[in-house]
C-alpha cells in the first residue's frame, strides 16, 4: 500500500509542477523579453479560473469554459499591456512592482465586485471524471493525469513555438537585442503585446484547470504567483527550460515533503509532535531548497544569457 | 548649511500628526486618536523600509516578515507573561514580559537577526531576483506561522491587555499614541543621521554605482547587509507596536499583502525622503478611512490612485511639494 501511496503522491507533485510551469513560463518569458516583473500574473490566473467557472456554469460545458478562460486571460493580458504595462518597460523594477501591485488590487476587488466573496465551484468534465488503476492497487483521478498531459503538451508546444516558428525567432531576438530587431523592421510594440497575451493565456489555462480541483475565489492567484517566483528563481529567470525544471522540483519537493516529513519525524518522536514539526518544516521546505540553490548558484540552475 | 525643504516638511508633518489626536479629543471624537496612532505606527514601519528601499535601493517585497515577527514577539511574550509560564528553549527558560521597552528590544533583536539571515542570502542577488526572493522568504515565515499551532496558527494570538510602559498608563489611547509618535520621531532622527553619515553616503553611492563604490575599496555587500538588518529592526519595532495597538497578532501581518502595503506607504510619500513615509502613512490611513467609509471596495480605488501615482506623479507626494532631490 505504501508504494501505491508513494506513486500517487509523486503524481500529485508532478501535477502541481506542471501547473506551476504554466504560470512560471509566462512570467519568465515576459521577464526575458521585456525585462518586466509582473506581480499581476496571479490575477490573470484568477481571471482564467473565473471565466471558466462562469462560462461552464452558464453553458454547462467545461470545454467551452476552458476556451473562455484562454480567451479572457489573453484579452485581459493584452488590454493591461496596452493600457499600463507598456509604460513600465523603461521604468525601474520598483515602479513595475508598485504598478502591478496596484493592478492586483484592481483585479481582486473588481472580481469581488462582479462575483461576490463566495467561492465558485467548477466540476470536472464527465469525460475525465473516472479513475485509473495505478501499479500497487490504488486508483488515481483521471482528471489529474489529464492535467499533467496538458502541461507536458504545452511545454512541448512552447518549445516548438520558440525554436521553430517565426514568432519564436522574434521572441528570441527580442531577448538578446530589442533595439536591433526594432531596427530590422519588426513591430516591437505588437510583439510585446503578443508575448504578454501569450503568458497571460498560459496563466489563465492553469487557473481554469486548477479551478476544477480547488475552489475558484478571489485571492487564489497570489499563492500560485509566489510559488511561480520560487520556481523561476530556482530555474534561472528568463529561461523556459529552467522554469520547467524548477516547476517540477518545486511541485515534487513540496508534495513529497508534506507526505514524507511527518513520517520521517515519526521515527524519532511521538506521532502528534512529529505531525507538527514535520508539517511546519514541510511548509517551509521549498523555500529552504530555494535558499540552498541560491547559495550554490545565485543565478539559478539555468542562468539565461543576460540577467 | 541650509535645511532642505524635505527636512522642514518632515518636521511639519510630524507636528501635524502630533496635533491630530488633540484636535480629535477637543472635537469629542476620541476614535480618531486610534487612527492617528495607526498613522504613526505604519509610518514607523515605512521609515524602516525606507532605509533599505530609499537609501540602499533594495526593493524588499518581504518586509512584512519583520513587521510580523515584531508583532509576534510582543504577542508571544505577553501571552507567556499572562499565563505565568516561562518560554522554554530547552537549555534555558525565559519569563514572558508585559513591559514595552523589553518587548521592543526583543522585537528589534529578533527582527534584526531575521533580516540579517534573509539579507545574507538575498543580497547575493540583485534586481528582480532580490524582489522575488525577499517575497518568498516572507511567505515562508507566513506559512510557518500558519502551520505552527502553539501560538494560534491561522487564528492568530490575542493580547489580553495592552502591554505596559513604566510610569505611563498605556490603556489611555492618547498615551499610547505619544509613545508611538515618540518612537517615530526617534526613528526619523536616526534616518536623518544615517543618511548624512559616512555609512549612509556609502550606502547611497552603492545604489547609484556599485562598481565605483567597489573600486574605492568599499564592499557593497556588507554595507547593504547592515542597512537591511537595521531596516528590519525598525520595521519589527513598528510591528510590536502594531500588535499592541490591535491587541492582536495574526499571520496576516506576515502576508505578501502587508509587504505590498509597506512599499506603497514608502512610495506614496516619496521614496528616500525623510518625510516620505510620514506623508505616505498619513495619506494611506486617511484614504483607507474616508474611502472605506464610503465603499467596501476601497482597495479598488486605492489601486487606481496608486497606478496614477506611479504612471504620472513620479517622486510621490513629497516630490510634488519639496521638488526633485538635488543630487539624484
Q: What is the predicted pLDDT for the residue at A247? A: 95
* List of chain A residues with pLDDT < 70: 1, 304-307
Residue bearing cell 509613545: B179
For residues B183, B133, A24, A83, the Cα torsion angle rounded to the nearest 10 degrees is 40
B311 contact residues in A (CB cutoff 8 A): 84, 87, 99
Q: What pLDDT band is residue B1 in, cutting at 50, 70 and 90? A: very low
What pLDDT shows up at residue B270?
78
Number of H helices, E strands in chain B: 13, 4
| pLDDT digit string, tens, across residues B86-96 | 887 777 778 88
E strands present in chain B: 87-88, 93-94, 157-158, 248-249
Q: Is B116 within 8 Å of chain A by CB? A: no
Q: Which residue of B has its CA nearest to A111?
A: B300
The pLDDT of residue B310: 86
Spatial separation of the C-alpha atoms in residues B153 and A261, rounded to whole Å = 19
Three cell numbers, residue A12? 500529485
Sign of CA dihedral B95, B101, B103, B109: negative
Q: Which tens digit of pLDDT belongs to each residue from B86-140?
A: 887 777 778 888 889 999 999 999 999 999 999 998 998 888 889 988 998 999 9
CB contact under 8 A, A99 and B129: no
Question: What per-residue confidence (pLDDT) applies to A134?
Answer: 78
CB atoms within 10 A of CB A189: 13
Cell of A112: 469581488
Domain ranges (residues) in chain A: 2-218
How far is it, in rounded angstroms, from Cα A78 to Cα A81? 5
**pLDDT tens digits, one per residue of B157-189:** 988 888 888 888 888 899 999 999 999 999 999
A109, A279, A295 ranked by CB distance to B300: nearest: A109
Q: What is the CA B38 to chain-centroid distance, rounded?
A: 11
Distance (Å, whole) CA A28 – CA A23: 9
Chain A residues 70-109 with a CB less than 8 Å from chain B: 84, 87, 93-95, 97-99, 101-106, 108-109
Q: How far apart are CA A38 and CA B57, in angstroms?
A: 19
d(CA A209, CA A63): 11
Q: What are phi and psi of B256, to 5 degrees?
A: -60, -30
Minimal Cα distance from A272: which residue of B? B149
Q: Where is A286: in which H helix or E strand?
A: helix A271-296
Distances (CA, A) of A264 to A252, A272, A274, B140, B143: 17, 13, 8, 21, 20
Kindly report, residue by residue over A54-68, the tens digit of the pLDDT: 999 899 899 999 999
Nearest residue to B209 via CA among B291, B93, B327? B327
pLDDT score of B327 more than 50: no
Report which of A136, A119, A149, A126 is spatially closest to residue A214, judged by C-alpha positions.
A119
Q: Which of B319, B301, B251, B321 is nearest to B54 (CA)?
A: B319
Closest alpha carbon within chain A to B119: A291
pLDDT higher than 60, residue B325: no
- Give me the sign of the Cα torsion angle B306, B308, B313, B317: negative
Cell 536623518, located at residue: B192
Q: Both ends of chain A: CA-CA distance in Å?
A: 47
The shortest C-alpha distance from A49 to chain B (Å) reads: 20
pLDDT of residue B321 exceeding 80:
no
Write out chain B residues lying below 8 Å of A233, CB-based: 129, 132-133, 136
Q: Measure CB to CB from residue B304 to each of A94, A106, A233 and give the nearest one.
A: A106
Residue B1 forms contact with A (CB below 8 Å): no
Angle at A8 between CA A5 and CA A12, to 5 degrees: 135
Chain B residue nearest residue A293, CA to CA: B121
Count of beta carbons in the 10 Å neighbourhood of residue A299: 18
Confidence label for B318 from pLDDT (cuts 50, 70 and 90) = low
The pLDDT of residue A150 is 93
DSSP tag of B4: P
Structural domains in chain B plus CATH codes: 5-322 (1.10.3470)
Beta bridge partners of B94: B87
Contacts A37 to B, Cβ<8 Å: 128, 131-132
Contact A226 B135 (CB under 8 A): yes
Predicted pLDDT of residue B48:
95
Handedness of CA A177, A183, A187, A193 (dihedral sign): positive
Contact A233 B139 (CB under 8 A): no
Dihedral class, residue A304 (left if φ above 0, else alpha if ψ from -120 to 50, else beta): beta
pLDDT number for residue A74: 96
pLDDT at position B154, please? 85
Question: Residue A174 is placed in which grid cell?
Answer: 527580442
Nearest to A294 among B133, B147, B302 (CB): B133
In a mutagenesis test of the B interface, which of A30, A97, A288 is the best target, namely the one with the most B β-carbons within 10 Å? Answer: A97
Give B 46-105 residues with CB within 8 A of chain A.
Answer: 53, 59, 61
Q: Does A279 contact chain B (CB < 8 Å)?
A: yes
Rounded to two decimals, the ipTM of the complex is 0.87
pLDDT for the residue B187: 96
CB-count exposure of residue A67 (10 Å: 0-12, 13-18, 19+): middle
Cα–Cα dist B190/B188, whole Å = 5
Strand intervals (E) in chain A: 131-133, 139-141
Confidence of residue B250 (pLDDT cuts 50, 70, 90): very high
A111: left (phi over 0), alpha (psi -120 to 50) or beta: alpha
CB of A120 closer than 8 Å to CB of A53: yes
Q: Which residues of chain B does A304 touch, with a Cβ-Cβ cutoff of 8 Å?
A: none
At B281, is the pLDDT very low, low, confident or very high (cuts 50, 70, 90)? very high
Amino acid at each position: 500500500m505504501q508504494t501505491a501511496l508513494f506513486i500517487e503522491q509523486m503524481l500529485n507533485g508532478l501535477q502541481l509542477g506542471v501547473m506551476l510551469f504554466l504560470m512560471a513560463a509566462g512570467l519568465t518569458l515576459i521577464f526575458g523579453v521585456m525585462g518586466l516583473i509582473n506581480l499581476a500574473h496571479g490575477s490573470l490566473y484568477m481571471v482564467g479560473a473565473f471565466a471558466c467557472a462562469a462560462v461552464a456554469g452558464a453553458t454547462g460545458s467545461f470545454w467551452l469554459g476552458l476556451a473562455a478562460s484562454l480567451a479572457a486571460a489573453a484579452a485581459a493580458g493584452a488590454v493591461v499591456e496596452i493600457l499600463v504595462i507598456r509604460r513600465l518597460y523603461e521604468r525601474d523594477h520598483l515602479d513595475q512592482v508598485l504598478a502591478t501591485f496596484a493592478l492586483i488590487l484592481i483585479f481582486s476587488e473588481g472580481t469581488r465586485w462582479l462575483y461576490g466573496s463566495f467561492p465558485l465551484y467548477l466540476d470536472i468534465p464527465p469525460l475525465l471524471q473516472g479513475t485509473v488503476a495505478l501499479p500497487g492497487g490504488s486508483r488515481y483521478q483521471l482528471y489529474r493525469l489529464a492535467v499533467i498531459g496538458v502541461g507536458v503538451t504545452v511545454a512541448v508546444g512552447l518549445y516548438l513555438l520558440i525554436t521553430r516558428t517565426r514568432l519564436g525567432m522574434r521572441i528570441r531576438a527580442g531577448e538578446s537585442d530589442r533595439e536591433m530587431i526594432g531596427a530590422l523592421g519588426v513591430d516591437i510594440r505588437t510583439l510585446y503585446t503578443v508575448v504578454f497575451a501569450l503568458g497571460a493565456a498560459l496563466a489563465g489555462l492553469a487557473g481554469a484547470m486548477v479551478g476544477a480541483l480547488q475552489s475558484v475565489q478571489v485571492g487564489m492567484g497570489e499563492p500560485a504567483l509566489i510559488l511561480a517566483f520560487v520556481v523561476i528563481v530556482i530555474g534561472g529567470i528568463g529561461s523556459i527550460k529552467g522554469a520547467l525544471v524548477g516547476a517540477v522540483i518545486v511541485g515534487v519537493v513540496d508534495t513529497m515533503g508534506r507526505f514524507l516529513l511527518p513520517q520521517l519525524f515519526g521515527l524519532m518522536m511521538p506521532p502528534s509532535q512529529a505531525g507538527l514539526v514535520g508539517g511546519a518544516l514541510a511548509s517551509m521546505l521549498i523555500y529552504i531548497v530555494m535558499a540552498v540553490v541560491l547559495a550554490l548558484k545565485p543565478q539559478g540552475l539555468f542562468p539565461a544569457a543576460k540577467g | 548649511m541650509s535645511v532642505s525643504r524635505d527636512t522642514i516638511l518632515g518636521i511639519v508633518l510630524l507636528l501635524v500628526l502630533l496635533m491630530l489626536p488633540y484636535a480629535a479629543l477637543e472635537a469629542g471624537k476620541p476614535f480618531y486618536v486610534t487612527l492617528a496612532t495607526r498613522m504613526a505606527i505604519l509610518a514607523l514601519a515605512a521609515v524602516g523600509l525606507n532605509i533599505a528601499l530609499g537609501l540602499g535601493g533594495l526593493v524588499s517585497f518581504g518586509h512584512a516578515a519583520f513587521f510580523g515577527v515584531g508583532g509576534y514577539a510582543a504577542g508571544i511574550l505577553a501571552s507567556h507573561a499572562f499565563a505565568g509560564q516561562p518560554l522554554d528553549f530547552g537549555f534555558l527558560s525565559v519569563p514572558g514580559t508585559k513591559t514595552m521597552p523589553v518587548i521592543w528590544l526583543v522585537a528589534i533583536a529578533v527582527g534584526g537577526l531575521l533580516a540579517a539571515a534573509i539579507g545574507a542570502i538575498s543580497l547575493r542577488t540583485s534586481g528582480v531576483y532580490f524582489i522575488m526572493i525577499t517575497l518568498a522568504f516572507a511567505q515562508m515565515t507566513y506559512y510557518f506561522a500558519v502551520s505552527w499551532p502553539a501560538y494560534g496558527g491561522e487564528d492568530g494570538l490575542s493580547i489580553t491587555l495592552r502591554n505596559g510602559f513604566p510610569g505611563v498608563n498605556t490603556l489611555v489611547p492618547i498615551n499610547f499614541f505619544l509613545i508611538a509618535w515618540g518612537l517615530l520621531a526617534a526613528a526619523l532622527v536616526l534616518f536623518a543621521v544615517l543618511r548624512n553619515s559616512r555609512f549612509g553616503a556609502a550606502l547611497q553611492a552603492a545604489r547609484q554605482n556599485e562598481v565605483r563604490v567597489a573600486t574605492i575599496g568599499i564592499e557593497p555587500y556588507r554595507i547593504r547587509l547592515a542597512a537591511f538588518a537595521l531596516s528590519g529592526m525598525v520595521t519589527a519595532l513598528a510591528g510590536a507596536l502594531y500588535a499592541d495597538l490591535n491587541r492582536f497578532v495574526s499571520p496576516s501581518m506576515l502576508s505578501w499583502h502587508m509587504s505590498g502595503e509597506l512599499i506603497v506607504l514608502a512610495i506614496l510619500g516619496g521614496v528616500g525622503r525623510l518625510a516620505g513615509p510620514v506623508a505616505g502613512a498619513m495619506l494611506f490611513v486617511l484614504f483607507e478611512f474616508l474611502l472605506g467609509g464610503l465603499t467596501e471596495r476601497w482597495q479598488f480605488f486605492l489601486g487606481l490612485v496608486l497606478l496614477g501615482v506611479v504612471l504620472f506623479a513620479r517622486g510621490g507626494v513629497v516630490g510634488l511639494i519639496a521638488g526633485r532631490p538635488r543630487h539624484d
